[in-house]
């Protein structure tokens, strides 16, 4: 099929394409990316011959020709090295990301970043205009493309446009600090349906729209310019079948046993799996663990912590400081409580394949998910999906979107270090029998409300707009 002339009935637009380049020696090939969004949309895309995905390939410079990978029709879009610094590292991740995560780290506002952000959004919109068939459905994703729905609406009034924000929407009082607050609201109002992870984010979005435009929202419906935009809550799930299938593999089960033995077969293994990001609360977790060891409430001989901190946005302001602090705390704990050949914290600043992560989930007795703010947090759901025997304790921040669904987790306030310490201590000493009711309840949610169901729910509601 010639992607240069074909007009598509369903178009997905996201910052990145749903594939990544995998090198095997000197040869490279494209493979589907891991992650919830690709898992959710791959079945929709593969079953629809009239669906394509617009996004950046991950390599600065001119875009490659359209291509197909395992049923995913990909239409690359060009982003220059300069735009990468201004649009992605700058406005997307040093202005929007911290602001939308409750300004945990001070956001920066620069007009050159804004100009690049607007320019890239325009390029996405113009590309979709050329690709979309008359009356096509377009689904736009995340904070990198907040302006795109409005731009697309002006160019193609015939399109049905959906937008989903994967990160939290901030409180109105925070949102209105942004100099370009009106432009971004205008961008969102170009969509027929705006989806968010939680009711709180949906409420915040509606309040910001009302504050900026003066329009009174009717429930979650905004009437404007002879059109309506609906705001809905659609918590994203995981590819639960994939996790279940991996757990059933003997090699994964054997790997779980091997990992535990390599740790010295401790009584309790705690696990943290995060991107290295100041929103994830890794430092708070480390301080709580250190104090529990220092107070004798946990034993370094019987309790170890594996902390995976996947590299992320290393060029963005603030991330280098987070890495330094996390690694200082890891060194402090191991220096004071470890022994030769037996660290108390096993710190891994590297990415891991999903099979290795699932083996760790299966092996870990306690999962620590303690972000200061998070749109959803799929790691929490992956851990729950991996607990086929209904054991294990999930210690979960109430400021993660997942807390709205996983209500029987050990919910904590990550800003309250004493409360976090109590929760960790309780989780470590809880019997397997006592874990079962809470885990069963969470597994029902995770195995039912999957990524695929999330996509179906959003698209079904979009069709009614």
Residue 454's nearest CA partner among 395, 375, 356 is: 375
- Is 166 an annotated catalytic residue? yes
> Pairing between strand 72-76 and 67-69?
antiparallel
Instruction: Evaluate whether 52 touches 182 at the Cβ level (below 8 Å).
Output: no
Residue 401's nearest CA partner among 369, 432, 357 is: 369
Alpha-carbon span 22 to 337, nearest angstrom: 40
pLDDT for the residue numbered 4:
57
Alpha-carbon span 101 to 168, nearest angstrom: 6
- Is 374 an annotated catalytic residue? yes
pLDDT in tens, 361-418: 999 999 999 999 999 999 999 999 999 999 999 999 999 999 999 999 999 999 999 9
How far, in Å, are 95, 191, 249, 367, 372 from residue 322 at the CA level? 17, 36, 36, 21, 14
The DSSP annotation for 299-315 comes to: -TTTEEEEEEEE---TT
Q: What is the mean pLDDT of the chain?
A: 94
Catalytic residue from among 239, 277, 374, 449: 374
pTM value surpassing 0.85: yes
φ/ψ of 163, rounded to 5, equals -135, 135
pLDDT in tens, 201-252: 999 999 999 999 999 888 899 999 889 999 999 999 999 999 999 999 999 9
Alpha-carbon span 424 to 365, nearest angstrom: 11
pLDDT in tens, 316-362: 777 888 999 999 999 999 999 999 889 999 999 998 999 999 999 99
Instruction: Evaluate whether 288 touches 420 at the Cβ level (below 8 Å).
Output: yes
| Residue 37's pLDDT band (cuts 50, 70, 90) | confident
Catalytic residue from among 6, 110, 166, 349: 166
Alpha-carbon span 78 to 60, nearest angstrom: 7
Question: H/E element holding 274?
Answer: strand 268-275
């Amino acid at each position: 099929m010639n992607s240069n002339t074909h007009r598509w009935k369903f178009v997905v637009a996201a910052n990145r394409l749903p594939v990544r380049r995998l090198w095997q020696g000197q040869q490279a090939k494209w493979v589907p990316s891991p992650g919830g969004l690709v898992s959710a949309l791959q079945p929709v895309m593969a079953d629809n011959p009239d669906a394509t995905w617009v996004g950046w390939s991950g390599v600065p410079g001119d875009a490659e020709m359209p291509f197909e990978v395992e049923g995913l029709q990909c239409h690359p879009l060009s982003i220059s090295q300069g735009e990468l610094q201004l649009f992605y590292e700058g406005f997307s991740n040093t202005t929007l990301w911290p602001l939308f995560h409750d300004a945990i780290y001070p956001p920066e506002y620069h007009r050159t970043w804004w100009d690049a952000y607007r320019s890239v959004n325009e390029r996405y919109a113009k590309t979709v205009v050329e690709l979309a068939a008359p009356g096509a459905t377009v689904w736009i994703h995340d904070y990198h493309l907040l302006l795109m729905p409005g731009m697309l609406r002006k160019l193609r009034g015939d399109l049905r446009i959906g937008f989903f924000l994967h990160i939290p929407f901030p409180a109105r009082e925070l949102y209105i600090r942004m100099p370009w607050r009106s432009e971004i609201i205008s961008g969102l109002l170009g969509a027929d349906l705006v989806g968010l992870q939680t009711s709180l984010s949906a409420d915040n979005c509606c309040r910001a729209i009302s504050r900026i435009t003066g329009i009174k929202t009717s429930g979650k419906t905004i009437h404007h310019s002879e059109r309506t935009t609906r705001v809905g809550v659609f918590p994203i799930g995981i590819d639960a079948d994939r996790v279940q299938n991996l757990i059933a593999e003997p090699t994964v089960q054997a790997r779980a046993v091997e990992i535990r033995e390599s740790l010295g077969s401790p009584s309790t293994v705690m696990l943290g799996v995060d991107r290295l990001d100041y929103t994830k609360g890794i430092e708070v977790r480390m301080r709580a663990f250190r104090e529990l060891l220092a107070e004798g409430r946990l034993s370094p001989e019987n309790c170890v912590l594996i902390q995976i901190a996947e590299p992320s946005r290393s060029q963005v302001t603030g991330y280098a400081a987070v890495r330094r602090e996390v690694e200082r705390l890891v060194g402090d704990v191991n220096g004071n409580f470890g022994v030769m050949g037996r660290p108390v914290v096993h710190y891994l600043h590297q990415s891991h394949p999903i099979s290795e992560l699932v083996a760790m989930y299966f092996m870990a007795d306690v999962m620590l998910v303690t972000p200061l703010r998070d749109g959803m947090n799929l790691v929490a759901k992956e851990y729950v999906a991996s607990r086929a025997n209904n054991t294990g304790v999930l210690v979960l921040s109430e400021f993660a979107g997942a807390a709205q669904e996983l209500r029987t987790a050990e919910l904590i306030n990550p800003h309250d270090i004493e409360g976090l310490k109590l929760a960790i201590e309780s989780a470590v000493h809880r019997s397997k029998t006592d874990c079962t009711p809470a885990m069963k309840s969470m597994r029902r949610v995770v195995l039912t409300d999957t990524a695929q169901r999330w996509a179906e729910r959003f698209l079904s509601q979009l069709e009614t707009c």
